[in-house]
Amino acid sequence: MSTKAALPKRSEHYSEWYNDLVKRADLAENSAVRGCMVIKPYGYSIWEKMQRALDDMFKATGHTNAYFPLFVPKSFLEKEEGHAEGFAKECAVVTHYRLKANPDKKGALMADPESRLEEELIVRPTSEAVIWNTYKNWIQSYRDLPLLINQWANVVRWEMRTRLFLRTTEFLWQEGHTAHASADEAVKETEQMLDVYAEFAEKFMAVPVFKGVKTANERFAGAEETYCIEAMMQDGKALQAGTSHFLGQNFAKAFDVQFSNKENKLEHVWGTSWGVSTRLMGALIMAHSDDNGLIVPPKLAPIQVVIVPIYKSEEQLAAISAKVDEIRTSLISRGISVKFDTRDGMTPGFKFADWELRGVPVRLALGERDLQNGTIEVSRRDKERGEEGAKTVANIEGLADTVQNLLEEIQQNMYNKALAFRTANTRNVDSYDEFKAIMARGEGAVSGFVLAHWDGTGETEQKIKEETKATIRCIPLNAPEEDGVCIYSGKPSKRRVLFAVAY
Amino acid sequence: MSTKAALPKRSEHYSEWYNDLVKRADLAENSAVRGCMVIKPYGYSIWEKMQRALDDMFKATGHTNAYFPLFVPKSFLEKEEGHAEGFAKECAVVTHYRLKANPDKKGALMADPESRLEEELIVRPTSEAVIWNTYKNWIQSYRDLPLLINQWANVVRWEMRTRLFLRTTEFLWQEGHTAHASADEAVKETEQMLDVYAEFAEKFMAVPVFKGVKTANERFAGAEETYCIEAMMQDGKALQAGTSHFLGQNFAKAFDVQFSNKENKLEHVWGTSWGVSTRLMGALIMAHSDDNGLIVPPKLAPIQVVIVPIYKSEEQLAAISAKVDEIRTSLISRGISVKFDTRDGMTPGFKFADWELRGVPVRLALGERDLQNGTIEVSRRDKERGEEGAKTVANIEGLADTVQNLLEEIQQNMYNKALAFRTANTRNVDSYDEFKAIMARGEGAVSGFVLAHWDGTGETEQKIKEETKATIRCIPLNAPEEDGVCIYSGKPSKRRVLFAVAY
């Protein structure tokens, strides 16, 4: 077993660092199918933790899961004009339903020309069309509302430039689709789910987020209003981590979904949709990890504690193992997940580096002398090697308490660090020259977030994007009213909006 | 709210009864996309219970989840000859990656001819090809083995005749794919997963199953041996509820997956795959339910206990609700899921019928007089209306114990009933005339399972199928050796095999 080369340094090659880390920490890899990824077992186990936590939150807010078809008939996509415009472009089109032996090439297969579909099927890029076509039959009366449904599914968007987790042709996500009797109720739902996403990002992922609404240019195709959460990555770029859309009556009108209200009059239903995807894995990695590898917050860590034995003989290992059994039992009884790394033929140093790469929050190392002293070495992954408190010695007696408290402390510390970084790199800017200078910072320096005045027009937004690559990530919710002038046009503005270069 | 018409009777129209029940109990419905179903929230919540139980069992046997791409390049399907033969036929073929506005028809979309793929992509009908192509890079040495991976996913097989849950174009399933250093270990894995499926069927679904191996004709395309579990439905037909395949080195050879063994020599890897699908929902329904609707075993019931208040005034409802709050708390504290049905404008009788239709195992009804007496009406769904013990009166004091015991009793009773039915309808048959007479029974009578001698040839198997529609479901594991003669050819046979007409 050879020791592995170090990762590229974040300060020098951020995107290579990311790509290497994703592969080397066994999170995901590119597949033989262009733009589609394989989510490897370790990466998938983190995604499963995310799913479980989100699913619990969806259910606690009254939603249930269901499943709708993978395929969308082409004609469905034509129904909601804005939606078709935004989504119909880059997608996988199924045109045939059978393969047959290729008569011109032995052993080869070909699409059977006789199996051509009358109407092409699109692999869902999102499911509004299929779901609203179904809701038509489920909703007749106000008594059938609200309808609060979520789906965990795969979707396909034919991306030209892909990156593991961040932008892939196929990805996994959840998509909530709700139907309501009033605009007011639908807006409340949209906002509630945004809050759920923000809470998940902050409490589980340890990633602080800005909540806001998108400008008209950046709105979801078919929505009246798109709410989003925006997170800052370590390179200062923004990552949109979740969106929640108020659909108005657009899909209800496109698919003719009406209900009779309490006055027995027909009205179109009001809708929302909201989703987060495996992109969150990218956010998690880029918000926290370091040059030694991944750092996973304890609440999402598939393995929270790893125990590495330090031994020179089989007898020593046996004595250590007996003590480790006790430790494991006491940790597991508190719901802490533990791995005892007994792999043979690897040095403790190799194992330490391996678990660092995978971001396990707490590492315990136990050797012969520790056994005699009743102590154990405790390392926390959220601190840098050599940083004060990164490595301590604890008593084995009471260790479960020590570890439980430490896991909570790590979770909180990771959030605090990410928040401090974001705060340090979020600037109020009042001149376009300063804005351009900040956005022009190269790799190694951080542009971060800029709060600036904007005149509210799409033209200005577009010009700034062309000139600086920065986009308006959102108009923050609850941004204080403040008289100012647009940094670009000098026209009056009532509040600052959030700019950044984004993933 | 109108009362609903009764379901068709099982004894008269079994398949209409099934179709109606699936729709009326809100389990699933046909979608606008040919052969694809919508799994409705209530149906999906049962599937989620199945998933959770199976997933726990997979993890307890050392497997982890991962995710592989939806698309299989056409050339991958060509690699394993038998596999291509068996699977390449009926599947969804993606040929283009973009839609564009149709210049000849305003508002319409068309596949952009310029986006034609160089190589067609097949929507996975199963993932052996994609996964073994990936394993090639994951496996170098015996130290990388075994590789024990499962995937929860959707798959597509273009079925001509579809039925909700039983046979749909798209369905949900799990597929395990493991790689091993020896044939022996791979066979043990194949058998272990068959045991997991059998245990799940019997302990959770309350459905007894025969374990066995398929004949060569019925083997999975690309497998050396296919193990299966076969369940008897109430109409006497067999339903294959799960399969576990020993793949030999077929996929390893097709995708060139080799490992260096302990002697440092290269060998091809040994493989298995195993899966169960949303088809299990069909098995669950057809093994247990009755003319009043679904019957769900307590271990898979999303709602285990429903409480219906019987009241004439708001004051009565308030008093009942206060008591129900206590009852719910005590049930929930034992992990029992409870629904209090306070829907307005429906009679208790309507509610009773509604929950019967949905198969909730235990119904509690609480009225004014019960409150005074400290009693409550307890109905169990596994018994027929009017059957002894179907409805009893219990003391509210100690009710949690009563209900917990009752749920366990219902789980066991459902299994016992299904087993008794199967035993009564499984016959040893020694003449082909008798065999034909049994298989010729029309709707209303039950052909059931027949254990008979067979000469081991595909020709005989095929003839019997053509003449009677019965197929060999499996060669049961641990079938006693017994000298006999084939019912069809009269040639010698060493053991009986299991025949039935199958779904």
Q: How confident is the model at residue B444 (pLDDT cuts 50, 70, 90)?
A: low
Q: How confident is the model at residue B88 (pLDDT cuts 50, 70, 90)?
A: low
Of A439, A457, A452, A463, nearest to A487 by C-alpha is A452
Please compute the mean of the pLDDT values over residues A477-502 and round it to a whole number: 95
Question: Domain ends where: B368, B384, B410?
Answer: B410
Which B residues in the span 94-113 are in contact with A, Cβ-Cβ below 8 Å?
A: 94-100, 107-109, 111
A451/A337 same-domain check: no
CB atoms within 10 A of CB B191: 18
* Assigned token pair, B201: 């069927």
How many helices and strands (H and E) does chain A possess? 14, 26
Q: What's the pLDDT score for residue A186?
A: 98
* Assigned token pair, A309: 């034995």
B158/B252 same-domain check: yes
Question: Domain ends where: A408, A435, A463?
Answer: A408
The range of the structural domain enclosing residue A478 comes to 426-500
pLDDT in tens, B326-352: 999 999 999 999 999 999 889 999 999
CB pairs under 8 A between A and B: 180
Which A residues in the span 168-197 are in contact with B, Cβ-Cβ below 8 Å?
A: 170, 172
Mutation target vs B (from A87, A90, A94, A132; most B CBs, 10 A cutoff): A94
Would residue A175 count as lying in a domain?
Answer: yes
Would residue A102 count as lying in a domain?
Answer: no
Q: What's the pLDDT score for residue B1?
A: 36
Smallest CA–CA distance from B64 into chain A, residue? A41
Half-sphere exposure of B429 (CA within 13 A, CB side): 25
DSSP letter (8 states) at residue B66: -
| Cβ-Cβ contacts under 8 Å, A178 against chain B | none
Which A residues in the span 39-68 are in contact with B, Cβ-Cβ below 8 Å?
A: 39-41, 44-45, 47-48, 64-68
Please compute the mean of the pLDDT values over residues A46-61 and round it to a whole number: 98
Helix (H) or strand (E) holding B319: helix B314-332
Q: What's the pLDDT score for residue B4?
A: 62
B406/B433 same-domain check: no
pLDDT-above-90 percentage for chain A: 90
pLDDT at B378 over 70: yes
Q: Beta partners for A339? A: A306
Strands A266-268 and A258-260: antiparallel
Mutation target vs A (from B71, B76, B124; most A CBs, 10 A cutoff): B71
Q: Beta partners for B268? A: B258
Helix (H) or strand (E) holding B53: helix B41-60
Residues 6+ away with beta carbon under 8 Å from A131: A68, A149, A151, A177
**Contact (CB, 8 A) for B271 and B251:** yes
Q: Residue B310 and residue B303: Cα distance in Å, rounded?
A: 20
Of B298, B285, B294, B297, nearest to B335 by C-alpha is B298
Helix (H) or strand (E) holding A49: helix A41-60
Residue B138 Cα distances to B134, B182, B365, B417, angstroms: 7, 17, 58, 47
- List strands edge to edge, sheet with A305-310: A338-340, A305-310, A362-367, A375-380, A391-395
DSSP helix/strand/coil, B340: strand
| Cβ-Cβ contacts under 8 Å, B91 against chain A | 97-99
B36-45, B78-87, B225-234, B264-273: range with lowest mean pLDDT: B78-87
Task: Output the domain CATH number for residue A326.
Answer: 3.40.50.800
pLDDT in tens, A458-487: 999 999 999 999 999 999 998 889 999 999
pLDDT at B232 over 60: yes
Of A76, A109, A149, the CB nearest to B84: A109
Report CA dihedral (B179, B181, B183, B185) to the nearest 10 degrees. Answer: -80
Q: How confident is the model at residue A3 (pLDDT cuts 50, 70, 90)?
A: very low
A80-94, A237-251, B268-282, B433-447: range with lowest mean pLDDT: A80-94
Would residue A485 count as lying in a domain?
Answer: yes
DSSP helix/strand/coil, B347: coil
A162/A199 same-domain check: yes
Mutation target vs A (from B50, B67, B143, B158; most A CBs, 10 A cutoff): B67
Strands B305-310 and B362-367: parallel
| Cβ-Cβ contacts under 8 Å, B100 against chain A | 89
The interface predicted TM-score (ipTM) is 0.96
B350/B208 same-domain check: no
pLDDT in tens, A401-432: 999 999 999 999 999 999 999 999 999 999 99
Q: Where are the beta strands (DSSP E) in A112-216?
A: 116-123, 147-156, 170-180, 209-213
Would residue A112 count as lying in a domain?
Answer: no
Q: Residue A95 and residue B156: Cα distance in Å, rounded?
A: 14
**Contact (CB, 8 A) for A11 and A444:** yes
B393/B471 same-domain check: no
B143/B25 same-domain check: yes
Residues 6+ away with beta carbon under 8 Å from B274: B175, B176, B190, B193, B194, B197, B242, B243, B244, B245
Pure H helices in B374-457: 399-424, 432-439
Q: What's the pLDDT score for residue A166?
A: 97
Q: What amino acid is encoded at A422 in this protein?
A: R
Task: Output the domain CATH number for residue A214.
Answer: 3.30.930.10
Residues 6+ away with beta carbon under 8 Å from B276: B54, B173, B174, B197, B200, B241, B242
Would residue B295 count as lying in a domain?
Answer: no
Q: Residue B282 and residue B163: Cα distance in Å, rounded?
A: 9
DSSP-derived secondary structure for A366-403: EEHHHHHHTEEEEEETTSPTTSTTSEEEEESTTHHHHH
Q: Residue B175 and residue A173: Cα distance in Å, rounded?
A: 20
Question: Domain ends where: A226, A254, A288?
Answer: A288
Mark yes or no for CB contact B98/A89 under 8 Å. Answer: yes
Mark yes or no for CB contact B170/A71 under 8 Å. Answer: yes
A271/A175 same-domain check: yes
What's the gap in Å between the CA of B150 and the closest CA on chain A?
9
DSSP helix/strand/coil, B488: coil
Q: How much is the mean pLDDT over chain A? A: 95
Q: Residue B347 and residue B351: Cα distance in Å, rounded?
A: 6
Q: How much is the mean pLDDT over chain B? A: 95
> Would you give the end-to-end CA distance of chain A in angstroms?
36
pLDDT at A1 over 50: no
> Would you give the end-to-end CA distance of chain B in angstroms?
36
Q: How confident is the model at residue B5 (pLDDT cuts 50, 70, 90)?
A: confident
Would residue A227 count as lying in a domain?
Answer: yes
Of B144, B234, B146, nearest to B193 by C-alpha is B146
Mark yes or no for CB contact A32/B76 under 8 Å. Answer: yes
| Cβ-Cβ contacts under 8 Å, A76 against chain B | 32
CB atoms within 10 A of CB B78: 20
Domain count, chain A: 3
Helix (H) or strand (E) holding A134: helix A128-138
Q: What's the pLDDT score for residue B281?
A: 98
B379/B402 same-domain check: yes
Dihedral over Cα of B263, B264, B265, B270: its sign: positive
pLDDT in tens, A271-290: 999 999 999 999 999 999 99
| Cβ-Cβ contacts under 8 Å, B45 against chain A | 64-65
pLDDT at A80 over 90: no
Q: How confident is the model at residue B146 (pLDDT cuts 50, 70, 90)?
A: very high
Mark yes or no for CB contact B39/A73 under 8 Å. Answer: no
| Cβ-Cβ contacts under 8 Å, A72 against chain B | 33
Phi, psi of A293 (to 5 degrees): 135, -160
B449/B473 same-domain check: yes
Half-sphere exposure of A158 (CA within 13 A, CB side): 20
Of B492, B21, B2, nearest to B282 by C-alpha is B21
Mark yes or no for CB contact A78/B170 under 8 Å. Answer: no
pLDDT at B87 over 70: no
Would residue A48 count as lying in a domain?
Answer: yes
Please compute the mean of the pLDDT values over residues B376-397 and round it to a whole number: 96
pLDDT at A106 over 90: no
Q: What is the pTM of this model?
A: 0.96
Would residue A326 count as lying in a domain?
Answer: yes
A356/A244 same-domain check: no
Task: Output the domain CATH number for residue A495.
Answer: 3.30.110.30
Q: Considering just the CA atoms, what is the radius of gyration of chain B in Å?
A: 26
Please compute the mean of the pLDDT values over residues A347-372 and round it to a whole number: 96
Q: Residue B247 and residue B211: Cα distance in Å, rounded?
A: 18
B363/B453 same-domain check: no
